[in-house]
Structure 1
Amino acid sequence: MNIHPWTRRAALLLAALTVLLSGCTTYVTTQVTAFSDWTSNDAARTFAFTRPPGQQNNLELSTYERIVAVELAVHAFREVDSAQAHYLVGLSYGIRSDMVTVAQPVYYNPWPGPYWGRPFDPWGPWGPWGPYQSAYVNQTYPIFTHLLGVRITERATGKEVYNVTARNSGEESSLVRAMPYLARSALADFPLGNGVVHTVKLPLDKNGSAANEMAAAGAVPAAAPAAASGAKVAE
């Protein structure tokens, strides 16, 4: 898909503003796009992960598979040996960095603090007769775009039945720290209809990370069905 340069610039600018507000941000916002031909029932939800040639011993991929497996379990998927699996699940992922420049206003104060008898100007950028003149200084920020794709196919026929992509942007430079949010968002409302695009907002936990990051260490939460309970979906 070709993205118009102005569309890409607008997206990067929005991401830059997100970085500027990150000090008070309590949600991670992810765009999710799904293509679906899903007609299965819970009884058939056995799966195994499949990997491309040369990736059988990829530790990074193994880590992300554990995170995705936790989210699949929320929707009654059960991981089994590939020979017994009804579905094969393949992952794709990546991270890209960009630099975004944002013009920041700098106000000129013609009435220095001592004039008011205080070490600061109580009017802020507004003087007693209106706003001060402002200038602009360019500030450059790094923006990181994180991506996760989850593709589900029937093992017996090779037919693709579900393909979902989750993408978010922000100041987080680590894909492994972003992955729990991507996985949970991608499967937050499984199964989505064909061609559905929506936005998922997930709350940060008290440590600034998703609860299922523990899956990266091989642990499985005791109450897996609650993993997606904090998701907010905006169509």
Structure 2
Amino acid sequence: MTQFVTSSPPPPPSEFHHISLLVYFAVYLILGLFTFGIAVPSNHLLPIILIGTTYGRLLGIFMGSYTKIDQGLYVVLDATSLTAGSMRMTVSLCVIFLELTNNLLLLPITMFILLIVKTVGDCFNPSVYEIILHLKGLPFLDAHPEPWIRNLTIEELDDEKSALVTLCGEEKVSRIVEVLKNTTHNGFPIVDQGVFPSVGLPIGATEVKGLILKAHLVAMLRKKWFLT
């Protein structure tokens, strides 16, 4: 009796060689590390997507002999996970990859991957944009205020506020030096008192002419720009 032994066909060869993918991944990763922090209006989304797709293709090649999952699925899911983990993008990223793939069947698993990646990422560190803001010392408002701010009232802010200090269009040097020594203001309004009021303003109203910074006053004193 003759027995026939059948075996599953070998997986199709990959379109890309793993050495080329490794070189491509390393080059884009190094260039991305250089461009993320420099003051250049470059796009961070596309490099991260390319890095994620390259890593996904490498993973698909490695898992090709163990599973029958298409390598393109690894590409899409790895690009989604890397982008969501670094930028914390969820809904917009899901829409972007839905438009790229034009496959509604990938929507549930993409949303599931985004949920896992964002939850795990928030447990360890903020997004790459918030990290850059902290490193560069740029001011920004946090999503949640500090606990002591919640109990702060308007009366307490008014008590802590320093009195307004104004300067006229022509001031003595002694007056400017006194103001700079006794105040911590960064700018001073330039006003003219007792001007002819406009319609609807009381007589003797104060008109604001502009604002001068503390650094400008210090520079004027150092260079002795005085009127004799």
State the TM bucket, normalised to the shorter chain. under 0.3
| Higher relative contact order structure (alpha carbons within 8 Å, sequence separation ≥ 6) | 1
TM-score, structure 2 as length reference: 0.20
TM-score, structure 1 as length reference: 0.19
Task: Looking at secondary structure, tell me which structure has more helix per residue.
Answer: 2
